[in-house]
Structure 1
């Protein structure tokens, strides 16, 4: 491992088969950040600087996303299986427990890790898996449509990203304030979908819902954006399988992926959630 200085990025060599692409910044209690389907660790960039002032931040790429390879041998991409893969990654870093924070699928994985006893706290930003019954069909359809569209638009991503109207039309369902994204951030969002071979497997294996969380005994914070357009309150924000002490908070002006909508607010929520 090569360290670039206090509070800055540390470059980590690939040591084992349990390796996942990641970066580490800062000093303090460890905080592991887990992105959603079709995304990568880059989604946390707007909040990393603020978080790294108080925490050792570890932002990872899930298998088949970002710089993490696809696992072989027909490995499952269910949230539970992905949680076990992240647990092995944490073992490789010498972390028995860590504060965990995740967006969408990453929030579900964080809750699964808490069930495994690997969490010091959990903060879920628009966590998936809290639907009433099985996953609503429109959720899988929305992500599948985005995957197909971004693959078709791949060569033209730069052009689409440069036009504010096209940008809002294409990624507006994921962000509360899509016009705030820069062209680079929009391209990264599009590349996250068409450059992630794990997306179809997650959509295939990620059915069902999160169960068995009422006995989680660490602090849990759940935050949904007021402009959430994917995981709607009437279908996808069920509280019955989370512990009674869960803190539920709104994110004004934010959508499904809030880190770009209001970086300061999101960073403060993550710091507060990992301080309880």
Structure 2
């Protein structure tokens, strides 16, 4: 892992029981219903990756690629009283969870639709769709209700993330647009992860990879690549879910996570 100084990452804790770390980025608002469910059985530690939510950017001159973000989380864990906890993440967070498992910082990992299993054109498509959403979020930053307040607006803004974007609650959509518009790590991280490709490894800890069957941003055929690169992992199809399955089926995602970390 890159050598990253210990950063004061923003986190919050819910529930009680054995710890479970959930890494958040642009998806922090979509995780809310799953975090509440997980907190019934675990102490959930939800931590913002550097440059997202309330966490600071990585030090100047440090490229915020997947490995550097994972190193920042690994450096932060001991100070938070966490030793090789289970780690869960979606998309960019899923790739970070896998890197933490690869490097021994996580006791287990659950990666939902992780990035890095794309070809160059697929990466350009996925990241390009997010740039459009980012521009939209910034354009309506003062009045996000223009988009979040109606089903058509939510569909236009979140079609690549949710299988049924029109069903996203207005409050969740509003918070997500604000987070997207205000995250200083968005643009540098986009540039840094464009060339990221997941490297094959044999997990020494339990690893589960979940993929939404209706994922439009990182289509489900990428799950086949994950199965080839990580033959020792457990691979799960999340039925009728998009790229952010927490939004579409929080109960299904909760049960998949709990089954993975208690197996």
Residue 51 (str. 1) matches residue 38 (str. 2): yes
Query: Alpha-carbon deviations, 1:134-185, whole Å to 9, x = none?
Result: 8631112111121122111212311211111111122122101212211110
What is the SS of the residue equivalent to 2:73? helix
Match of 2:237 in 1: 250
Q: How far did 1:124 drift?
A: 0.9
Preserved contact between residue 162 and residue 241 of structure 2 (Cα < 8 Å): yes
Give the aligned partner of residue 227 of structure 1.
214
Q: CA deviation at 1:97?
A: 0.1
8 A Cα contact 1:129 1:236, kept in partner: no
The equivalences for 1:83-232 within 5 A come to 83-132=70-119, 136-232=123-219
SS in 1 for 2:214: coil
Partner of 1:24: 13
How many corresponding residue pairs? 259
Q: Using the alignment, how far apart are the partners of 2:221 and 2:15 within structure 1?
A: 39
Q: Please say which of residues 80-89 and 27-36 is displaced more in the overlay.
A: 27-36
Spell out the pairing of 1:6-25 with structure 2 (5 A cutoff). Answer: 18-25=7-14
Query: Which of structure 1's runs of 4+ aligned residues deviate more than 4 A?
Result: 132-135
Contact 1:26 1:57 in 2 (8 A): yes
> Which is helix-richer, 1 or 2?
2
Structure 1: distance between partners of 2:102 and 2:188: 23
Is 1:79 matched up with 2:66?
A: yes
- 2:47 corresponds, among 44, 60, 64, to 60
State the TM-score, normalized to the length of structure 2: 0.91
> Please, which runs of 5 or more residues in structure 1 have no aligned partner?
1-15
Structure 2 contact 203–233 (Cα < 8 Å) conserved: no
TM-score using structure 1 length: 0.87
Deviation at 1:226, TM superposition (A): 1.4
- Relative to 1, partners in 2 of residues 1:222 and 1:236: Cα closer, same or farther, differing over 3 Å? closer
Q: What are structure 2's unaligned runs of at least 5 residues?
A: none
Q: Deviations over 1:242-273 (max 9, x none)?
A: 43221111111211111121111111111111
Q: Alignment partner of 1:68: what SS?
A: coil
